[in-house]
């Protein structure tokens, strides 16, 4: 059965791949892009079933009207793929507060506003599916990506809570966390904070050099990621959290193991803070 998709960020990368796969499967796709040239390019994929809308996710006042415009052309949104976002690379100390604000404006606030634009209709229809593209960096961390990973950790937490709240309405929600894919994420799309503190050279310079050298060479195949996401359509109980890629599975598993080791090693100190008089817990 054909569905209507809204996919943010369809110019390149995973968003583009999911859109291509959805169109090939006979679905209708409304995609958001940053420029009119990208809009024309996207519409050319399938003039009958592809619609493009120019949208900057930092322009919060335009997000809901864009969703309404998409529905006016294609009908109610059945599936949202909240994909648009970007990476910021830089050590914590060298990255500015403006860097942090913009990272969250796009990756978190823009994504949340997009979900809010389609959720009421899904709730009222008692049906819908939302995919939030996060990152393996939403589960584990790597030096030089503190603000980016913070934004993706935020999305993972928001998505998990949202899934619990809207399951009763037949709305299924999945946070999709890709590893490194053959996209431009680490190339031209990655914003790099300027270096200014020599103390970080030994740690960070090799990391930045390696990221630049490996841009576009990740193990993940964007088209196969698109197929994986589409395979969850109409799944009665899709995962709330889905990793994509063998590197994501390996690195997130290792990161979670390190966190659990801290919890286990300091369990006595953790338990020492309970009131001797007892009390209630939140759950």
Burial 34-69 (b: 16+ CB within 10 A, else e): eeeebbeebbebbeebbbbbebebeeeebbeebbee
Sign of the dihedral through C-alpha 50, 54, 59, 62: negative
In angstroms, rounded to a whole number, what is the distance separating the alpha carbons of residues 132 and 114?
10
Question: Which of 230, 79, 241, 118 is closest to 175 using CA atoms?
Answer: 241
Decide if 148 is catalytic.
yes
SS3 call for 242 = strand
Candidates 131, 148, 185, 200; catalytic one: 148
Kindly state the tokens that stand for 46: 């399938």
Q: Give the H or E element holding residue 54.
A: strand 50-54
Question: Which of 144, 158, 161, 118 is closest to 210 using CA atoms?
Answer: 144
Pairing between β-strand 241-244 and β-strand 171-178 as defined by DSSP bridges: parallel
Burial 118-136 (b: 16+ CB within 10 A, else e): bbebbbeeeebbbbbbbbb
Tell me how crowded residue 213 is: count the other CB atoms within 10 A of its CB: 9
Catalytic residues: 148
């Amino acid at each position: 059965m054909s569905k209507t998709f809204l996919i943010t960020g369809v110019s390149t990368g995973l968003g583009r791949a999911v859109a291509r796969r959805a169109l090939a499967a006979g679905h209708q796709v409304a995609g958001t892009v940053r420029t009119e040239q990208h809009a024309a390019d996207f519409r050319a994929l399938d003039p009958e079933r592809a619609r493009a809308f120019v949208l900057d996710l930092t322009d919060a006042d335009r997000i809901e009207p864009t969703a309404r415009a998409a529905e006016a052309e294609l009908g109610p949104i059945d599936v949202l793929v909240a994909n648009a976002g970007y990476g910021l690379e830089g050590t914590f100390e060298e990255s500015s507060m403006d860097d942090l604000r913009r990272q969250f404006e796009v990756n978190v606030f823009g994504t949340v506003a997009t979900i809010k634009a389609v959720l009421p209709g899904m709730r009222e229809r008692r049906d819908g599916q939302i995919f939030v593209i996060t990152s393996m960096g939403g589960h584990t961390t790597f030096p030089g990506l503190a603000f980016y990973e913070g934004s993706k950790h935020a999305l993972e937490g928001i998505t998990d809570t949202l899934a619990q709240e809207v399951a009763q309405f037949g709305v299924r929600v999945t946070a999709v966390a890709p590893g490194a894919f053959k996209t431009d994420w680490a190339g031209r799309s990655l914003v790099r904070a300027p270096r200014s503190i020599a103390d970080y050279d030994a740690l960070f310079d090799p990391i930045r050099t390696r990221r630049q050298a490996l841009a576009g060479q990740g193990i993940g195949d964007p088209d196969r990621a698109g197929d994986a996401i589409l395979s969850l359509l109409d799944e009665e109980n899709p995962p709330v959290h889905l990793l994509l890629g063998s590197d994501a599975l390996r690195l997130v598993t290792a990161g979670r193991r390190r966190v659990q080791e801290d919890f286990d090693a300091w369990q006595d100190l953790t338990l020492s803070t309970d009131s001797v008089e007892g009390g209630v817990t939140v759950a």
